[in-house]
Amino acid sequence: MDTMETRRNSIVNFINEKGTITFAQLKEKFSDVSEMTLRTDLKYLDSEKRILRIHGGAKSVQTLIESDDFLGKRFVQNVEEKKIIAEKALTVLKDNKAVYLDSGSTTTTLAEIFPDGSRLIYTTGLTCATELSSLEKPTVMIPGGKLNRFSQSVYGYTAIKELERVNFDQAFLGVTGFHPSTGFACGMNDEAILKQTAIRQSEQVIILMDSSKIGKKCSYTFCDFSDIDIIISDGKLPADFLEKCDKAGVKVL
């Protein structure tokens, strides 16, 4: 990775950590970089939708997603696609098994139609848990940890350690974005580690993603094709992506 790309990744990580920064904070953090270069970097990162430039500074795209976007827009974006994905996911869901259900709007759509069967379900998504609460037969578990009040999910060290003690038959994971240079990724380091833990603990890994996620770069990679068994999408994935799935032996529904 060249110096420019490394610097720009560092800028994105810095903005994600802070949520919102001023240009003065950016200059202080990257004191060895010229002001003109930093402004060029922000312009480029904004055009790539990796950050949002605002007057006098920049804001994390992940902050936007997790705040006013997550609870509002994400649940009304690509609604039909999410329903298609959820219906397809039911066809691979196994009975009497231990299941990990990731947080997110697509997994919540799946939780809405989850069958009332005998299984163990762990979820870090409070919206998922709320939907699952109407079921009588499953045992639904929410790992301890920190509350992300924006995405309505649990994260952090405690949640990770609890998941490490569970052997899952299936894990249903959401994705913030996929790009050839970053793989399957999300915007928070803690979230990426949580997903990686679920992958390690699961016999079968199932990714739920609509085609709008293709081409989106995010800061934290959590897996590649070699970690995945099935990708469930809306039937609109591009040919080059499907070719990569085929080469990796990943089933696409």
Q: pTM of the full predicted structure?
A: 0.74
Are the beta carbons of 136 and 156 closer than 8 angstroms?
A: no
- The C-alpha atoms of residue 175 and residue 194 are separated, in whole angstroms, by 13
Q: Which residue has the tokens 């003690």?
A: 165
Strand order in the sheet with 20-22: 20-22, 57-60, 51-54
How far apart CA 89 and CA 251 sit, in angstroms, is 13
Of 240, 246, 251, 241, give the one whose Cα is nearest residue 205.
251
Residue 103 has phi, psi (to 5 degrees) of: -80, 160
Of the candidates 63, 52, 72, which has an alpha carbon nearest to the alpha carbon of residue 188?
63
What does each of the 253 residues of the chain score in pLDDT, given as a tens digit? 468 989 999 999 898 888 889 999 999 999 999 999 999 999 999 888 788 888 888 988 765 554 444 444 455 567 889 999 999 999 999 999 999 999 988 999 999 999 999 999 999 999 999 999 999 999 999 999 988 776 788 989 999 999 999 999 999 999 989 999 999 998 788 889 999 999 999 999 999 999 989 988 887 899 999 999 999 999 999 999 999 999 999 999 9
